Each structure stands twice: as structure tokens, then as C-alpha cells.
Amino acid sequence: MSRGGSVRALTLSAAITLLGSLAGCGHADAPRALDEIRARGELRVVTLNLPTCYYFGAQGAEGLEFELVRAYAARLRVKLTINALANETAMQAELAAGRADIAAASLTDSPDWSRAGAAASPYARIPQLVVYQRGHVQPRETLQLESARLAVRAGSPQERILERMKRTVAPTLQWVETAPSSADPVEDVDSGNADYAISDAREFSFAHHLYPNVLVGFALPEERPAQWLVRHGGPDLLASVNAFFRELDASGTLARLVQQSSGDTRRFAYGESREFQAHVGDRLPRYRSWFEQAAAQAGIDWRLLAAIGYQESKWDPHAESDDGAAGVM
């Protein structure tokens, strides 16, 4: 090899070595999400005020997502700070801006969520139910949906499932979108504005108590994955979350917490009792607008507020609690 060729080879080798060293230094100096969380001593989580996620009961904070993030914060040995927001759009903004480390609300990855954060592996798969009004013919298969008035929330995981079904097994399938901020599609069925609606099984286990005349027809073939989203730029945090759920699953703790969360919805189950159904028909309409207004101000689901109110007072304006409070509570 000529002297010039040797010099060029040496220069190239030195450049590669230098670049490798610089890359190594950059990687070593790059902030790690877990180190940041431990340094501040706080895990910041955004969620939704829902009975399936997070709410305040008689004993304080409760809900499946609360139990999960509390266990994860304990694993990291840091304080847990939860910010309950009004909707997923607000959660995405907090996560994308780095003001939250984790979004936890039984979420499903989507293009909007992918822009905001990185999806952890699903920790559960939730059945998606076709629901109908009591007294009508029970739907039993997808073909029955193609000629019906079908309601689904716009932009929801349920709508994305229907879009995939339309492309593959039900080309003539049509549906009516309800706005994300509007009433539950289950209410459209209850009021007769829709023949069927698609409802998440966890959500319906709660909604059914307020709409006892809406029943389950059948479950769609595709289930919805439930997962957390973590902020971008934290692959170590994502790996840690995935390891956390693997361990919870292997130990049986995850199954226990999911089963316990079913009890959370059952505590709002006043049964199919004639008394409760009568109160849904005569008392709830009188106070519903108040529940909706207060829930909007607090950024929570009005149905959760109504359910807690029923627990406390059965929506009776003359009710009195043990500590002397009176009225609808």
C-alpha cells in the first residue's frame, strides 16, 4: 500500500474510532427517564376519572389503574402524583409535552397516541359488546349489524374495530358516530335512537346499572388491547413498565387486581331491583343536568357522580347521612 493510502486508511480508522467514542459518550450522558423519575422522587401519571380507571370512593382513591400505577410507583420507590384529566386529548398533550411520565386509563394505541408517547405491551384484552334494547330481537352475529342503526363513539377503539371489520368481513357495514364529548352510545340504544351500539365490556358493566333496559347481544370477534403509554425518549421506562406487567401477570397479582376492579363496578350495581329501576325513571331525570354540570366542571364522568350520589342518598332530596349532611349527595 502506498504511503498516501496508508495515511488515508489511518485517518479513516481514527475517524471511525473517534465517532464511536463520541457516540458512546453521548449515550452515556443522555438522560434516562428512570433516572429522572428517581432523581425527582416522583412518578407523574395522567388518567381519567372513571369507575374503570380512577375515582374517589369512601376509602379514598380507588380503581384498577390507580392500583396498578400505585404498585409501579412502589416498585420504583417514588411518590405517585396523579392528574385526572377530562379526556384522552388532554392526556396526550401532557404526555407529549413531558409533563407526565405515563398515561394510564385502559388505553389502546392509535395514531394520535403514537405521536404523544410509546405504547407498552397490552396488559389485558377487553371484549367489545354489541348491545341492544330489552324487548327487541337479540343480535347474535355480525351480519345483523349491516342493516341496523349502529352507534359508536367517533375516533374510539371501537370505531377502529368496525373499520377493520368493514374492510374484511362486513363490506356493507355502516354506523353513526357520536361525538367524543356527547352521551354514551349505550344511551342512544336506551332512548331508541339506535338499534345497537358497540360498548367496551368494562364500561358496560358500569353503564348497565344506569341503563338496565340495555342488554348484551354478542361479543365482536376482536377484543380491545388495554395498555399504558409512556413519554417519548424513555426506552428504559418502557422496558421497565413491560417488565412490571410481566411480573404482575406471572405472580397472579394482575388477575387479582382485574377481578377486584370488577368488584368496583359491582358496588355501583343496585341490581335489577324494581326500586332502582323506578329511581332511574323518576328521580334521575330531575337531577341529571346537575350531575352533568358538576361532572363537567370537575372533569369526571357524570355517570360516576350519579352513581356515587345514589350510593349516598338514592337521589332523595330529603335523605340524611350519618354525619348530618342532607339532600342529594
Contact 43, 100 (CB under 8 A): no
Residue 147's φ and ψ, nearest 5 degrees, are -115, 20
Is 312 a catalytic site residue? yes
Please state, in angstroms and rounded to a whole number, the distance separating the CA atoms of residues 20 and 181. Answer: 51
Please state, in angstroms and rounded to a whole number, the distance separating the CA atoms of residues 254 and 232. Answer: 25
Strand-pair category, 128-133 with 196-200: antiparallel
Contact 45, 85 (CB under 8 A): no
Where does 29-155 show beta strands of DSSP type E? 42-48, 55-57, 60-62, 79-85, 102-107, 117-119, 124-126, 128-133, 150-153
Residue 291's φ and ψ, nearest 5 degrees, are -60, -45
Q: Which of 36, 42, 222, 312 is catalytic?
A: 312
Q: How far is CA 307 from CA 80, 116, 205, in A?
A: 27, 32, 13
Residues designated as active site: 312
